[in-house]
Structure 1
């Protein structure tokens, strides 16, 4: 009997083990991350990837990357470029795939389950890379190649890649003492948890707020397009009346046109107080802790401030240089902003308004003043800025400058049915890359607009591997039979993000780490911002700005109104951007790790910069996702938009000076020295190679109408 029982138990254990092996094999076979992608152009099989695939893929990806690192460390041969630097560059391919897909989708089409995975795995990923960056044996090999790079005959991109890896390890804390390494790891883990929570809170704030209007009288002043969108959202959410949100396509028209001042105030305060409502989504204590930890981290790395640490790797080189630029522009801007405020107050008084101008009045009276001065209303422009036509405009520009062709593809998998895909080709038909567009707001998408690489460009076995790029935006949705009609600001955003896309698409580097947008923060905005210069150029407008109903080309009279009003409201536009840049630098030029009260700190910052009360920074601290929503992000780097604006204005002059804004010779130089070059050389060297000289601020100041 005992023998029979023993046999039965053995069979049960064996069958159980076999079943587990079969289930594991089945899970592996069904997980798209564990097989070669046979999709066209090997794009991610988004249609097959499910939420349950991420955790095992992250686990296996981390495991395989560690095995790759161990193989480099345990290689008994003398360290060389190939067995150390190139091996590092090619390590962790599965992990790279999973990170790319997951974080792209979580920011553009996320949900509670993805948030939970992000909260679980972000600290694990941070810990993993900390262990790699602080591994003494691994760094010894990297340092050996770095120290012997001349003896090894390394030049060009190989020398640059060695330098980049060496600096990355140093920046990651490899030279710290064992005790300080542990402190750094603790700080990094805490930072990733805090920044993830900050971003989550902000997303949930956007989801939570709804202004529901049921009385028609409260819609007074709002254009039909805004009313229709609000009615459609109310229907979708099974609410009565009209629903307005904090998404820009809903919020901005409300601030521009709603006659009910108390409702504008409600919408405005809801927007600027996201993360500042003393509730479960409040971000103030998170900010205070992040700022404190960043001071501690900078101090560990031998810097007085976080800004000194971050900016030492940028074009500006020092926090002082960045701050000097921003402060000088602020001084030039304040008088213009004050003059605009006076003009708006006069309009309020003329209409019999018995109140002082407040921030929630600025957008509204600016539109009235625009109408009075230029007989121009933004709503009359929108019919000529249908989304597909505007995108066609940037395609036309890309063809004229760089000879690119765009072929729509309907056979590529997408993560959301609203995404569209294009194959990008050279004039001769050679593949450049694959482009994804995701244009409209949804509950799982964070605010703003951005470009990401789904796959970086690089060379493998002498052949160029084409990049896969995505532009994600939050534009005005189509409503009924009316297509998406963009504002000028949205059109400029589309061109801006496509400028980033071109930086990724036209990348032509041997190695991923120095390709495309892997450049300093204060240089990366040059390719994006320069494209904005063409948006309202009459020559290009006539090629893409066509009435969505009639196909009529935008009339000369309307173009003239647009041109005449180009410098209108520039004091406000510049001041809110500069104020956010100063606020960012103020947070990150703190020298004391003691936590400060977020509200008191922000108020002191605004007072010190001379910001008038009628204008708030573009981002208040508690919803400043650029600087607090990720470990590095744009922290101590938001000034980069203005730094790059000086570059882009000067760079566009290179075209304008020829009398041909589509000048092929200038475009070829820009492509070769900026777009294709990536981080192959220092940014200032690349710019001089394109322009022939250092950038001058004159074009930027003239564009703002700050000098004649």
Structure 2
């Protein structure tokens, strides 16, 4: 294995800020020349190769800029981050310019007519490329009069810049909230020991950032409700700077939708998704809320009783309300008291240094690949770089691609967990292959003076999920970059990774992934049983919270009159999530980065795709989650095609039938009395 040489070098990570901008400008100019040459073709010379292949290849070359733009999410160098942000603005603006070229659209239409007239034989993927590229032009408004096209171009560029600014602020947010040790009572000592200390007015204070490993333990463990309230309000308001940008984005989207002839932005967005319409989204969410609400009300009553009991024990006034800052705390307390499951104890069995290699090993065995860590400079010393090969690779033909893991928090780094497809796979004009590269960015807890880096079970689930996206990117094999990997309908893209979360609730897998940091023993059977039982505890409140996000998203993208989005955010959260706030409303929408990062009018997709995820797992994997033959089927039918065919076709091919919601509903409601109402 070590002697094998990859047929493609990994990306370079030695760029200066000047490099980022010069390389971006050169790539844009190269792409523009291709568009110019296509536009200059006579109608008779427009064919599949001269138009569609040429444009697809040029667009793929532009996508290879992604590693340069990626610096804004991960670099410690502000100059480099700023250059990457500027480069993204350049690319976005050029993309608007390119998609609005009427002369290129005419060439596409001429080529399509010639293909039909000459009865040119195309593969299914090639036919899909023609269909999608023609649809691009129609959705861009290229059938509209010139004045409207010019206005669209202007509005789209403005929207692009607003989204870039929003996400830059999101990545670079560095606020802190200060607490005394007494105020942090209940927060595990190993977490507190990692908080920097400072002294103010003779008081020793602990700095808590809004990063997940810092603030979430405060939500879950701080015994003082005032501490949790302050932490939550600070977290919810941490990006107030984005309020105006959020408003601008929604206003621009409404204007664009109106010019294009769509009733709302949500109708425009959902047209190309599995759900097909905004009305379909609203119906799906309303139906699910109706079914979930009785379960959520029961969950709330259970947790409220727990709160009342604790307040009585501690002499804290009880006002009969259940607040947003109570949810994570009492959810955790309920699991500990009813299931005798201690999240802090479970964490001890999941050292990062054990879990990460174990998860990679599981994926490798299941999907028939092998990770080989390779030396080389990356964007940060903590980043791991891997070459990925077929398990039985004997020569360079067994090369799959490259993968990066950037797992720990640091200043100015993207603050959640996500995967970037840095380079898409595709066939090159010379007959060779351009191999994919993917990067997984996370924010796992770092080691403390007392303990190694440990992962909560939630972190393990998240890691397993995100690695699912990595493998979707690595193991897809399409002819065109446009269809590679996760380039599927947005309301399906999460389904493969959501399906893989199920592994984190399987006894065999939990044993393989766990190893106590002191005893080196795997999770004992009784603890595994408790973890599995905890999966659907308070599931009603959990999914109502997801529905709140989805309903807020669809409402702001369908309601033409709403302007006070802070009030809407807080009112909807109270009515749907069944949790209250008090005091001034906090602008939580200003940190809802999904809505400027590609999930606008699409957050429903997280829940929508769970239907497919549950069906895939129950039908194929449940009987033996680690069966390589099932893994091969999954790789061949779901991962390999990417977006090169309709998602329903891939699902039916994998399942052997059309998908249904039985497994999804059974998972959520199977243990609840609400089942009979479905």
**What's the TM-score once normalised by structure 1's chain length?**
0.87
Structure 1: where are the runs of 5+ without partners? 1-37
1:625 paired with 2:593, answer yes
- In structure 2, the residue matched to 1:20 is none
Given that 2:425 and 2:484 are in contact with CA atoms closer than 8 Å, whether structure 1 keeps it comes out as yes
2:17 aligned to which of 40, 51, 69: 51
1:212 aligned to which of 165, 178, 199: 178
> Within 5 Å, which residues of 2 pair with 1:187-198?
187-198=155-166
Q: Per the alignment, in what secondary structure is the counterpart of residue 148 of structure 2? A: helix
- In structure 1, the residue matched to 2:186 is 221
| Separation in structure 2 between the aligned mates of residue 40 and residue 682 of structure 1, nearest angstrom | 31
Given that 2:125 and 2:644 are in contact with CA atoms closer than 8 Å, whether structure 1 keeps it comes out as yes
| Separation in structure 1 between the aligned mates of residue 218 and residue 18 of structure 2, nearest angstrom | 40
Q: Shift in Å at residue 583 of structure 1?
A: 0.5
| Separation in structure 2 between the aligned mates of residue 359 and residue 93 of structure 1, nearest angstrom | 45
- In structure 1, the residue matched to 2:606 is 641
Change (3 A) 1:611 1:580: same
Given that 2:20 and 2:87 are in contact with CA atoms closer than 8 Å, whether structure 1 keeps it comes out as no
1:375 aligned to which of 327, 331, 340: 340
| Separation in structure 2 between the aligned mates of residue 134 and residue 39 of structure 1, nearest angstrom | 39
1:431 aligned to which of 399, 412, 418: 399
1:10-69 C-alpha deviation (Å, 9 max, x unpaired):
xxxxxxxxxxxxxxxxxxxxxxxxxxxx998322210x2112212222222222221222
Change (3 A) 1:157 1:618: farther
1:133 paired with 2:99, answer yes
- In structure 2, the residue matched to 1:538 is 507
- In structure 1, the residue matched to 2:128 is 160
Q: Per the alignment, in what secondary structure is the counterpart of residue 242 of structure 1? A: strand
Q: Per the alignment, in what secondary structure is the counterpart of residue 476 of structure 2? A: coil
| Separation in structure 1 between the aligned mates of residue 420 and residue 167 of structure 2, nearest angstrom | 17
1:340 aligned to which of 266, 290, 299: 299
1:515 aligned to which of 457, 474, 484: 484
- In structure 1, the residue matched to 2:288 is 329
- In structure 2, the residue matched to 1:405 is 370
1:84 paired with 2:84, answer no
Q: Per the alignment, in what secondary structure is the counterpart of residue 353 of structure 2? A: helix
| Separation in structure 2 between the aligned mates of residue 618 and residue 81 of structure 1, nearest angstrom | 53
Q: Shift in Å at residue 522 of structure 1?
A: 0.4
| Separation in structure 1 between the aligned mates of residue 214 and residue 72 of structure 2, nearest angstrom | 23
> Within 5 Å, which residues of 2 pair with 1:13-412?
41-46=8-13, 48-76=14-42, 78-91=45-58, 95-98=62-65, 100-109=66-75, 112-114=78-80, 116-117=82-83, 120-150=86-116, 151-204=119-172, 206-207=173-174, 209-213=175-179, 215-231=180-196, 241-276=205-240, 281=241, 283-351=242-310, 352=312, 353-355=316-318, 356-409=321-374, 411-412=375-376
Change (3 A) 1:177 1:126: farther
| Separation in structure 2 between the aligned mates of residue 248 and residue 402 of structure 1, nearest angstrom | 31
| Separation in structure 1 between the aligned mates of residue 577 and residue 307 of structure 2, nearest angstrom | 21
Q: Which moved more, 1:573-582 or 1:318-327?
A: 318-327
Given that 1:376 and 1:561 are in contact with CA atoms closer than 8 Å, whether structure 2 keeps it comes out as yes
1:557 paired with 2:526, answer yes
| Separation in structure 2 between the aligned mates of residue 562 and residue 610 of structure 1, nearest angstrom | 27
Q: Shift in Å at residue 400 of structure 1?
A: 3.4
Given that 2:515 and 2:522 are in contact with CA atoms closer than 8 Å, whether structure 1 keeps it comes out as yes
| Separation in structure 2 between the aligned mates of residue 602 and residue 216 of structure 1, nearest angstrom | 32
1:280-307 C-alpha deviation (Å, 9 max, x unpaired):
x2x3332222212111111222210111
Change (3 A) 1:133 1:188: same
Given that 1:580 and 1:620 are in contact with CA atoms closer than 8 Å, whether structure 2 keeps it comes out as no
1:637-677 C-alpha deviation (Å, 9 max, x unpaired):
111111111110110012355x2223344332221121000
Q: Per the alignment, in what secondary structure is the counterpart of residue 637 of structure 1? A: coil
Q: Per the alignment, in what secondary structure is the counterpart of residue 405 of structure 1? A: strand
| Separation in structure 2 between the aligned mates of residue 180 and residue 486 of structure 1, nearest angstrom | 53
| Separation in structure 2 between the aligned mates of residue 691 and residue 620 of structure 1, nearest angstrom | 40
Given that 1:145 and 1:162 are in contact with CA atoms closer than 8 Å, whether structure 2 keeps it comes out as no
Q: Which moved more, 1:533-542 or 1:659-668?
A: 659-668
Q: Shift in Å at residue 119 of structure 1?
A: 5.5
1:235-280 C-alpha deviation (Å, 9 max, x unpaired):
9xxx96532111111111111111222111111101112334xxxx
1:599 aligned to which of 560, 566, 571: 566
Given that 2:621 and 2:630 are in contact with CA atoms closer than 8 Å, whether structure 1 keeps it comes out as no
Given that 1:298 and 1:309 are in contact with CA atoms closer than 8 Å, whether structure 2 keeps it comes out as yes
Q: Shift in Å at residue 595 of structure 1?
A: 6.3
Structure 2: where are the runs of 5+ without partners? none
1:455 aligned to which of 423, 428, 431: 423
Q: Shift in Å at residue 395 of structure 1?
A: 2.1
**What's the TM-score once normalised by structure 2's chain length?**
0.90
Q: Shift in Å at residue 426 of structure 1?
A: 1.3
Q: Per the alignment, in what secondary structure is the counterpart of residue 407 of structure 1? A: strand
Q: Per the alignment, in what secondary structure is the counterpart of residue 491 of structure 2? A: helix
Task: Flag the structure with larger Rg.
Answer: 1
Q: Shift in Å at residue 91 of structure 1?
A: 1.6
Q: Shift in Å at residue 581 of structure 1?
A: 0.4
Q: Per the alignment, in what secondary structure is the counterpart of residue 91 of structure 1? A: helix
| Separation in structure 2 between the aligned mates of residue 148 and residue 119 of structure 1, nearest angstrom | 41
Q: Shift in Å at residue 382 of structure 1?
A: 0.7
Given that 2:16 and 2:80 are in contact with CA atoms closer than 8 Å, whether structure 1 keeps it comes out as no
| Separation in structure 1 between the aligned mates of residue 286 and residue 111 of structure 2, nearest angstrom | 42
| Separation in structure 1 between the aligned mates of residue 286 and residue 638 of structure 2, nearest angstrom | 28
1:423-466 C-alpha deviation (Å, 9 max, x unpaired):
22212122111110001111111222111112111122333332
| Separation in structure 1 between the aligned mates of residue 497 and residue 366 of structure 2, nearest angstrom | 15
Change (3 A) 1:387 1:427: same
Change (3 A) 1:597 1:691: same
Given that 2:547 and 2:576 are in contact with CA atoms closer than 8 Å, whether structure 1 keeps it comes out as no
Q: Per the alignment, in what secondary structure is the counterpart of residue 226 of structure 2? A: helix
Q: Per the alignment, in what secondary structure is the counterpart of residue 229 of structure 1? A: coil
Given that 1:471 and 1:501 are in contact with CA atoms closer than 8 Å, whether structure 2 keeps it comes out as yes
| Residues paired across the two proteins, number | 649
| Separation in structure 2 between the aligned mates of residue 132 and residue 322 of structure 1, nearest angstrom | 31
| Separation in structure 2 between the aligned mates of residue 335 and residue 530 of structure 1, nearest angstrom | 26
Q: Shift in Å at residue 602 of structure 1?
A: 3.0
| Separation in structure 1 between the aligned mates of residue 450 and residue 336 of structure 2, nearest angstrom | 28
| Separation in structure 2 between the aligned mates of residue 534 and residue 51 of structure 1, nearest angstrom | 42
Given that 1:326 and 1:578 are in contact with CA atoms closer than 8 Å, whether structure 2 keeps it comes out as yes
| Separation in structure 2 between the aligned mates of residue 618 and residue 513 of structure 1, nearest angstrom | 40
| Separation in structure 1 between the aligned mates of residue 459 and residue 431 of structure 2, nearest angstrom | 40
| Separation in structure 1 between the aligned mates of residue 247 and residue 485 of structure 2, nearest angstrom | 34
Q: Per the alignment, in what secondary structure is the counterpart of residue 505 of structure 2? A: coil
| Separation in structure 2 between the aligned mates of residue 110 and residue 317 of structure 1, nearest angstrom | 41
